[in-house]
């Protein structure tokens, strides 16, 4: 009969060490690398720990992390979003327009900019699920489309007369750190709740890991993919508004260099390119690594060409190590 004879003994609810260790190894490894890097940079470049540098560093970190989150949300579905930079700049220009031309209150203007970003993300999602074309192709196209449309509408003219109160956001401090970090932490916390505790977040991960099985288990796969793209757009918008506050202007040239950081942070942090697994903390740490590296190289007066070189190298080394680790785990028979 079905009465389990000894299932209660077998089914231990204690948590299991190995997978936790394997997962933690990534985050812990990243944290160690960051500590090492900080120690090295701080000892070589005395300016590193100065209040001024910490402020710049954390302000860049705040922005790059949210850019990373923007990609992470879509990586969760097993797709990608190459239009993050274009969506970001559209949000910037929309916010700038609402602030400067229409003279709307700051909160309303920011909300307007974020709404534009969310709508553009939604459009990406709809195009992807309706056509069934891979997100790579769709967002490659919309990246150019959104950017072009923005240039047409704004005639590539910047908004430079933003209200002082808005610009102050970019200068706001919290001790020596940029207050923009609070926005980043809030977004991170929201994403953590989303992926760990919410129905939609779990469904996004299920759809990313195996869309067929998810669908046959009653998950509205197409809908959650659209949701993920809306969230991605929203994050891109938030990053955009932060950039506008930092620059004290809405420039149409922003966003075109977001592609690399958007992938770097989540991939360094252990988010899978194939979908179904994300790490919010990992993405944050990944962004820390990239920002510290960039900042350190600047302080050490390494030319900016080299910075590009090192960022590319970091990504290769990181994913290479990760690949080696998973192959090793498999060879050792940890996964049978």
Partner 1 sequence: MTAGALLVENATKVFPGVKALDRVSMALNSGEIHALLGENGAGKSTLIKIVTGVYRPDEGEVRIMGKAVSFSSPRDAFAAGIGVVHQERNLIPRYSVAENIMIERLPTKRGLIDRGEMNRQASHWLAALDLAIAPEIPVNRLSVAQMQLVEIARALSQQSRILLLDEPTASITRNEIEVLFGLLRRLKDDGVAILFVTHKLEEVFALCDRVTILRDGRNACDGVPIADIDKRQVVAHMVGRDDALSDIGNRRANLGEVKLELKGVSTALGHRGIDLQVRKGEVVGLYGLVGAGRSELAKAVIGAEKITGGQILVDGRPAVIRNVRDALQRWRIGYVSEDRKQEGLILAHSVAKNTGITIWHRLGGILKLFTDKQERKAIGPFIQKLDVRTPSLDQDVGNLSGGNQQKVSVAKWLAAESEILIVDEPTVGIDIRTKGYLHRLIWDLAEQGVAVVLITSDLAEMVLLADRVVVMRDFRVIGDLPNTYNYEQMSRQIMGRIHEAKLDEEHEGGASAFQGA
Site residues (vs partner 1, CB under 8 A): 1-2, 4-5, 7-8, 10-16, 18-20, 193, 196-200, 202-203, 205-206, 209-210, 212-220, 276-277, 332-336
Tokens found for residue 162: 């933003």
| C-beta of 155 vs 336, nearer to partner 1 | 336
Shortest separation between residue 15's beta carbon and partner 1, angstroms: 6
Cα–Cα distance list, 246 to 87, 166, 239, 251 (Å):
18, 9, 11, 11
Q: Report angle CA 67, 73, 79 to the nearest 5 degrees.
A: 110
Task: State which residue, 16 or 107, has the beta carbon closest to partner 1.
Answer: 16
What is the smallest separation between the CB atom of 66 and partner 1, expressed in angstroms?
A: 22
CB of 330 to partner 1, least distance (A): 11
The secondary structure of residue 159, as a DSSP letter, is B
What's 177's DSSP letter?
A: E
Measured distance CA(118)–CA(311) in Å, rounded: 29
CB of 242 to partner 1, least distance (A): 27
Nearest distance in Å: CB 196, partner 1: 8
Token pair belonging to 127: 């195009």
Question: Judged by CB, which is closer to partner 1: 198, or 304?
Answer: 198
Distance of closest approach, residue 197 Cβ to partner 1, in angstroms: 5
Q: Closest approach of Cβ 13 to partner 1, in Å?
A: 7
Q: Report the residue number, 301 or 336, with the smaller CB distance to partner 1.
A: 336
Q: Which is nearer to partner 1, 259 or 322 (CB)?
A: 322
Q: How far apart are CA 55 and CA 254, in angstroms?
A: 21
Name the one residue in this structure whose structure tokens are 């080394």.
317
Measured in degrees and rounded to the nearest 5, phi and psi for residue 335 equal: -110, 115
How far is residue 127 from each of residues 130, 131, 135, 136, measured CA to CA in Å? 5, 6, 9, 12
Residue with tokens 């953590």: 192
Q: Please, are residues 241 and 167 in contact by the beta-carbon 8 Å criterion?
A: no
Residues in the chain: 336
Comparison of 7 and 43: residue with beta carbon closer to partner 1: 7
The DSSP-derived string for 10-67 is: H---SPPHHHHHHHHHHHHHHHHHHHHHHHHHHHH-GGGGSHHHHHHHHHHHHHHHHH
Closer to partner 1 by Cβ: residue 176 or 220: 220
Give the nearer residue to partner 1 in terms of CB position, either 152 or 332: 332
3-state SS class at 178: strand
Nearest residue (CB) to partner 1, 12 versus 155: 12
Please state the closest distance from residue 183 (CB atom) to partner 1, in A.
22
| Residue 336: CB minimum distance to partner 1, A | 6
Angle at 125 between CA 119 and CA 129, to 5 degrees: 145
Least Cα distance to 196 among 281, 89, 321 occurs for 281
Q: Are 187 and 235 spatial neighbours (Cβ–Cβ below 8 Å)?
A: yes
């Amino acid at each position: 009969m079905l009465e389990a004879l000894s299932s209660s003994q077998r089914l231990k609810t204690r948590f299991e060490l190995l997978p936790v260790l394997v997962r933690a190894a990534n985050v812990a490894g990243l944290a160690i690398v960051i500590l090492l890097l900080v120690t090295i940079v701080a000892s070589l470049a005395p300016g590193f720990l100065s209040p001024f540098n910490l402020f710049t560093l954390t302000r860049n970190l705040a922005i790059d992390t949210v850019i990373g989150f923007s990609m992470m949300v879509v990586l969760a579905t097993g797709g990608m979003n190459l239009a993050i930079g274009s969506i970001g700049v559209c949000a910037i220009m929309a916010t700038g327009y609402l602030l400067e031309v229409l003279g709307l209150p700051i909160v309303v203007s920011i909300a307007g900019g974020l709404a534009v970003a969310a709508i553009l993300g939604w459009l990406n999602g709809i195009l992807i699920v309706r056509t069934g074309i891979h997100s790579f192709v769709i967002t490659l196209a919309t990246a150019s489309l959104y950017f072009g449309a923005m240039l047409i509408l704004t005639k590539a003219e910047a908004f430079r007369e933003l209200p002082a109160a808005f610009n102050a956001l970019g200068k706001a401090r919290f001790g020596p750190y940029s207050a923009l970090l609070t926005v980043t932490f809030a977004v991170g916390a929201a994403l953590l709740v989303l992926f760990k505790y919410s129905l939609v977040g779990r469904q996004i991960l299920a759809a990313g890991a195996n869309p067929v099985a998810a669908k046959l288990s009653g998950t509205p796969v197409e809908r959650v993919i659209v949701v993920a793209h809306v969230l991605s757009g929203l994050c891109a918008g938030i990053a955009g508004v932060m950039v506008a506050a930092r620059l004290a202007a809405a420039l149409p040239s922003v966003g075109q260099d977001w592609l690399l950081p958007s992938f770097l942070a989540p991939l360094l942090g252990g988010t899978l390119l194939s979908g179904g697994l994300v790490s919010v903390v990992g993405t944050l740490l990944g962004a820390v690594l990239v920002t510290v590296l960039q900042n350190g190289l600047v302080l050490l007066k390494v030319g900016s060409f080299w910075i590009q070189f090192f960022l590319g190298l970091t990504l290769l080394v990181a994913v290479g190590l990760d690949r080696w680790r998973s192959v090793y785990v498999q060879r050792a028979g940890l996964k049978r």
